[in-house]
Amino acid sequence: MAGKNALVTGSSGLIGSECVTFLDARGWRVHGVDNNMRREFFGEHGDTTWNLERLRRETSRFEHHDLDVRDREGVDRLFAETRPGLVVHCAAQPSHDLAASRPFDDFEVNAVGTLNLLEATRQHAAETPFVFLSTNKVYGDAPNELPLVELPTRWDYADPADHEGIDETMRIDHSMHSLFGASKVAADVLVQEYGRYFGLPTVCLRGGCLTGAHHSGAELHGFLAYLARATAERSTYRIFGYKGKQVRDNIHSFDVCTAMIAFAERPSAGAVYNLGGGRENSVSVLEAIARFEELLGTKLSTEYVEEARRGDHICYISDLRRFRTDYPDWELSVSLDQIFDELAAAASERYEVTHA
């Protein structure tokens, strides 16, 4: 597949930028689409300009397009001009909590923006694999119905049958999603439908916590990157409910790229996979704080907020067995220890570490 054009949306964000680097290194010409809306969503902490500049420095065939995925004509024009051989759609309003205060922006970016891209793909590149970064929030808070057991530093599944985590048969309705989860459900179902109804090779990768050093971590999005920053700067980190024992499974952005390319090389139509770090890369908030404190040699100041975030997962571990069965050569290559080391190193490089 090398030597073709790829179109990556959200290319200045965490996953999009990793895809740009990944594909560029493998000989692709990459068209990146990003309008730095993350800054508008999250303020200074969300500004992705530094990451765009890094991509411009470090890649050889990358072309940036300051385009809004809501701009239907602009998207159509870009597809007509570039006729990409791979589409990776990562642009989003990605925050669960922010969506409530910006319902129209959230839906228009997440749902309508996805529809614009799908239709442009159908019109100009109908054979092209379309990879959509979906989310585990499509399940709403239904995963919280699984029986849990409280351990000293984390929640875990009580039933051994749930040991591997949440699989793709978890229902997506009759639960609370947040408006973000709802707009992502709309996009996820549209991506499936362009596969099932029109036969396009589309996939929804329902992410757990996707992470890496190139996240512009903000309180409302980018759990580990923001926690690393808060620990380095000793700013107060707020823990929302569940005693700080809520569990997330973390996958490095590089491993998201290898999963994406595995699908692109052997696509099917309307596929759905859960994609996270699995049990081996799972960590609770309390455990993550302890690790960063140790790595950065400082003490984080925390504030406990009794009320959990609405619709938040208590224990979420992605069951990776469906993806592993269909793509047996794919594996997680970045361990949880390596993720922590990388984020701590990036935080001490980018922010001044304040010691206790």
Ligand X SMILES: NC(=O)c1ccc[n+]([C@@H]2O[C@H](COP(=O)([O-])OP(=O)(O)OC[C@H]3O[C@@H](n4cnc5c(N)ncnc54)[C@H](O)[C@@H]3O)[C@@H](O)[C@H]2O)c1
Instruction: Give, as ranges, the residues between 298 and 327 that touch ligand X (CB under 6 A).
Output: none
Q: Are 221 and 94 in contact (CB under 8 A)?
A: yes
**Nearest distance from residue 128's CB to ligand X, in Å?**
19
Type of residue numbered 182: A
Closest C-alpha among 236, 203, 231 to residue 352: 231
> Among 6, 7, 8, 13, which residue sits at the site for ligand X (rule: CB under 6 A)?
13
Determine how many CB atoms are found less than 10 A away from the CB of residue 108: 17
Q: Choose one: 68-76, 239-247, 277-285, 346-354; the region binding ligand X (CB under 6 A).
A: 68-76
d(CA 314, CA 317): 10
Q: Is 12 in the site for ligand X (CB under 6 A)?
A: yes
> In the complex with ligand X, which residue's Cβ is closer, 99 or 148?
99
Structure tokens at 135: 């989310």
227 to 145, 301, 343: CA distances (angstroms): 27, 11, 9
**Nearest distance from residue 48's CB to ligand X, in Å?**
4
- H or E segment to which residue 295 belongs: helix 285-296
**Nearest distance from residue 185's CB to ligand X, in Å?**
12
**Nearest distance from residue 12's CB to ligand X, in Å?**
4
Q: Is 14 in the site for ligand X (CB under 6 A)?
A: yes
Q: Choose one: 65-73, 76-84, 294-302, 320-328; the region binding ligand X (CB under 6 A).
A: 65-73
244 to 148, 189, 289, 307, 312: CA distances (angstroms): 15, 32, 10, 11, 12
Q: List CB contacts of 341: < 8 A, sequence separation 6 or more.
A: 295
**Nearest distance from residue 177's CB to ligand X, in Å?**
13
Q: Are 332 and 278 in contact (CB under 8 A)?
A: yes
Q: Is 156 in the site for ligand X (CB under 6 A)?
A: no
**Nearest distance from residue 110's CB to ligand X, in Å?**
7
Q: Is 48 in the site for ligand X (CB under 6 A)?
A: yes
Q: Is 209 in the site for ligand X (CB under 6 A)?
A: yes
Structure tokens at 18: 């990793």
Q: Is 10 in the site for ligand X (CB under 6 A)?
A: yes
d(CA 128, CA 11): 19
Q: Is 133 in the site for ligand X (CB under 6 A)?
A: yes
> Among 63, 64, 68, 74, which residue sits at the site for ligand X (rule: CB under 6 A)?
68
Q: Exposed (0-12), middle (13-18) or buried (19+): which is 127, by Cβ within 10 Å?
A: exposed
Q: Is 255 in the site for ligand X (CB under 6 A)?
A: no
> In the complex with ligand X, which residue's Cβ is closer, 11 or 298?
11
> In the complex with ligand X, which residue's Cβ is closer, 69 or 142?
69
CA 136 from chain centre, in angstroms, equals 10
Structure tokens at 148: 């849990």
Structure tokens at 75: 């998207």
d(CA 208, CA 332): 14
> In the complex with ligand X, which residue's Cβ is closer, 200 or 220?
220
Q: What is the DSSP string of 270-282?
A: SEEEEES-TGGGE
> Among 21, 121, 128, 135, which residue sits at the site for ligand X (rule: CB under 6 A)?
135
Q: Is 201 in the site for ligand X (CB under 6 A)?
A: no
> In the complex with ligand X, which residue's Cβ is closer, 51 or 298?
51
Q: Is 261 in the site for ligand X (CB under 6 A)?
A: no
Q: Are 10 and 94 in contact (CB under 8 A)?
A: no
**Nearest distance from residue 76's CB to ligand X, in Å?**
14
Q: Choose one: 32-40, 155-163, 287-295, 323-331; the region binding ligand X (CB under 6 A).
A: 32-40
Q: Is 37 in the site for ligand X (CB under 6 A)?
A: yes
Residues that bind ligand X (CB under 6 A): 10, 12-16, 33-38, 48, 68-70, 90-92, 94, 109, 113, 133, 135, 207, 209-210, 215
